[in-house]
Amino acid sequence: MGSTEVIVVGVDGSTESIAAVTWASHRSVRTGARIHCVCIYALASYSAAALDGGYAVLDDEALQKGAQQVVDEAVAHATKHGAKNAAGSTQPGDPAGVLIDFSKEADLVVVGSRGSGGFADRLLGTVSSALPAHAKCPVVVVPRHTSGKKFTPVERIVVGIDGTEAPSSALRRSVEEAQTWGARLTAISAVPIAVGPAVMAWTPTGIDHSALLAQVREGMDKAIAEAVGDRGINVARHALDGSPASLLIEFSTAVDLVVVGTRGRGGLAGVLMGSTAQTVLGHSTCPVMVVPSTHLGKAEHIRPSWERR
């Protein structure tokens, strides 16, 4: 990470999207990342254009003007919160699709969990569900603020892993985030109390539960050691009985960031981007970072295409 990092923030002017800008700005202060705020607006429908091209042009101009105002306010907010290099743009199209395209060249995409209605709901409601499953880089979803709740600085991070020996992309990224924020990191793996194909396909039938817990902890230790390397970061680890979603949601009340992967070889990560993912994203009380399973970071940093226009 460094000054070449690019954080894209989806904004729509709602309180939730401003919270996303705040989160991204505070992270930018620590890494020197460039922030790019983008507001996506829908063009007039084909039927409206067919009825009266003039009105369609006026509608599109009004939408673009409103979107530009949202971007300008978001950039000003980012600068106010310490971001040294913040810019923005407006883009017509489908919000989820546009942000997925941006994720191909970004290091991180940040959005709010939901908007205040209308366009905001489409941008920050649907997008915060669809984007994490298809983005090419990690996505942070910032939830609604609760009374007295602060999401930054990030001091405590929890990552969900599957207990196998190979470190996942989510675990590797959580180590990077702990180093970036100077945060304490905890890794958890969910182990079902009842084992068998009907509960979790990756667990064999008839296995002793205490032996399973020991096996999972051993795998976690090896994965953590490889992910941490020589960074000198201490990682607490717990293999816990329960469902992945319930455990992560419970931990979200006591930490500042939950990190999960899009998919894995079984266990927690393997089911996460199904109903479990939507449950965690919908009920977490702190920001959630979703890391694509194939994410290895940017091999090289070049100026993103939207900055070259």
Place of tokens 């609604």: 144
pLDDT band of residue 281 (cuts 50, 70, 90) is confident
Task: Please give the helix or strand (H or E) that residue 8 lies within, else none.
Answer: strand 6-10
Q: pLDDT tens, 147-164?
A: 556 788 999 999 998 877
User: Could you tell me which of 76, 64, 139 has the C-alpha nearest to residue 292?
Assistant: 139
Tell me what pLDDT residue 263 has.
Answer: 62
pTM listed for this prediction: 0.83
Outline which parts of the chain fall under CATH 3.40.50.620: 6-145, 156-286
Asked if residues 7 and 34 have their Cβ atoms less than 8 Å apart, the reply is yes
Strands 86-92 and 184-191: unpaired
Q: pLDDT tens, 177-223?
A: 999 999 999 999 988 765 444 444 445 555 677 888 888 899 999 99
Cα 240–186–291 angle (5° rounding)?
100
Inter-helix orientation angle 15-31/169-181, to 10°? 80
Count Cα atoms within 13 angstroms, Cβ side, for 129.
13
> 267 pLDDT exceeds 70?
no
CATH classification (class only), 156-286: alpha beta
What is the mean predicted confidence (pLDDT) over 262-283? 59
Phi and psi at residue 287, to the nearest 5°: -60, 145
Topology (CATH) of 6-145: Rossmann fold (3.40.50)
> 116 pLDDT exceeds 50?
no
Q: pLDDT tens, 28-79?
A: 999 999 999 999 997 654 444 444 555 455 577 888 899 999 999 999 999 9
* Cα–Cα distance measured from residue 131 to residue 190, given in angstroms and rounded to the nearest whole number: 25
What is the mean predicted confidence (pLDDT) over 121-131? 61
Phi and psi at residue 273, to the nearest 5°: -85, 15
Tell me what pLDDT residue 258 has.
Answer: 96
Average pLDDT, the chain: 80
What is the mean predicted confidence (pLDDT) over 254-265? 81
> 232 pLDDT exceeds 80?
yes
Asked if residues 223 and 167 have their Cβ atoms less than 8 Å apart, the reply is yes
Tell me what pLDDT residue 146 has.
Answer: 57
